[in-house]
Amino acid sequence: MSHVAQSQTAHYTPSMPRQQGQESVSPRDHRVSVHQHWPDGLLDGTGPEPFFLVETWRPDDNVGYPASCTPETCRRWVEAALAYAAAVDAVSAELTAAHQGVGSVPRWRYFAARRALHAWERVRKRYEQTVREAGEAYQPTSREIWHEVWSERDRAGLRAREEAQEKREDSREEAQARRRAAELAERPIWGWSVVTRKKWSIAYVFRHDVPHSDERVSAARQGRPCVNLQELRQALKDLHPDRLHWDGTALAETGRELDGLSFGRCWRELFGEDHSTFTSLPPLPPPTRRPTDRGNPSGGSATSGTGGHGSGFSYGGFGGGY
């Protein structure tokens, strides 16, 4: 039997069950997962071409290639894989049986051995023809799947480049916002005044360079010193008022100048605390995209806006939250 050029004659693993187990496959997020499967080759130098097993796509699956498709296209890909696997499996089983038939005939039975060998030759020719025709029939589907695989890779590459560009833009915008906040913090434009009542005191905080939004600030700002944010913070902590009022117009103008960074966030990043209560806060995570809270320049604090009052000092410190 040395003249019978068959490389894997004793065993052939059918390919059909590999895809049959995936017959219920359907696109997920308009994608499926495909990976190539090579059926066992039974003849030296001649073997079936690989085909694509189609499976439901999973984000954490790194085995196959993601490919975009519709449910109809997915069904067509699965049917083509099943048809190809069925044809190759059937003729491979015939060739394996024919080879086993040749090997089971004793050498001394010359005519029986000749008949078995002729039968094997007929099956071999049919095997080569069937494998070739099945491959030709499946080739358009294979090309279509490869096209979608490479298209998906191109889209993934484009998404990665866009995300990288967005991150660079975010970093640049955040750096600009931090620079504006640092520049604003150094400007001596802030002032304060304290009004004392019978049982409590209130500190009014305003900007000297913008119109006031509260009549109480109008009288309080006359003759008050101009300080930067660091000096303002220290003065307020030394004064220890029961209540703190930030002028709404001052906060609105500050938010406009910060252009994307609220005053509350600016104060928190500069000093690590709430601007209305002076309580310590953990560092803020960097924004993923441009903030959208310009309509509330105070950053959502209870003391922000016109006429707002925050929680007062409690047990020696500012109470309330951010």
* Secondary structure of 36-105 as H, E, C letters: EECCCCCECCECCCCEEEEEECCCCCCCCEEEECCHHHHHHHHHHHHHHHHHHHHHHHHHHHHHHHHHHC
- Amino acid occupying residue 275: H
Produce one character per residue of 266-304: b if its CB has 16 or more CB atoms within 10 Å, e if not.
bbbbbbebbbbbbeeeeeeeeeeeebeeeebbbbebbbb
pTM of the model: 0.52
- Domain boundary (166, 199, 220) is at 166
Q: Verify that 161 and 191 share a domain, yes or no.
A: no
Give, to the nearest 10 degrees, the angle between helix 263-271 and helix 110-186: 90
The answer on 159 and 27 residing in a single domain is yes
Same domain, yes or no, for 220 and 137? no
Same domain, 114 and 207: no
Show the domain range for 313.
187-318
In a domain, 172, yes or no: no
The verdict on residue 99 lying in a domain is yes
Specify whether 125 is located in the same domain as 199.
no
Residues 146, 191 within the same domain = no
Are the CB atoms for 284 and 269 separated by under 8 Å?
A: yes
Same domain assignment for residues 145 and 275: no
Residue 143 within a domain:
yes
- Both 107 and 142 in one domain: the answer is yes
Is 1 domain-assigned? no
Residue 131 domain flag: yes
Residues 137 and 227 in one domain: no
**Residues 133 and 45 occupy one common structural domain:** yes
Q: For residue 179, is it within any domain?
A: no
Residue 178 lies in a domain: no
| Tally of domains within the chain | 2
| Cβ pair 31, 66 in contact under 8 A | yes
Residues 23 and 134 in one domain: yes
Residue 110 counted as domain residue? yes
Segments of the chain assigned E as strands: 31-37, 51-56, 65-68, 190-196, 201-207, 243-246, 313-314, 317-318
Same-domain check for residues 204 and 146: no
Q: What is the pLDDT along the chain (322 residues), one digit of tens a residue?
A: 434 444 444 467 777 776 776 557 888 888 899 988 888 877 766 778 899 999 888 887 777 889 999 999 999 999 999 999 999 999 988 888 888 777 777 777 778 878 888 888 898 898 889 999 999 999 999 999 999 999 988 988 888 899 999 999 888 888 888 888 888 889 999 999 888 888 888 888 999 988 876 666 555 556 778 999 999 999 998 988 888 889 888 888 888 888 867 888 888 888 888 888 888 877 766 555 544 444 343 333 333 333 333 333 332 333 332 2
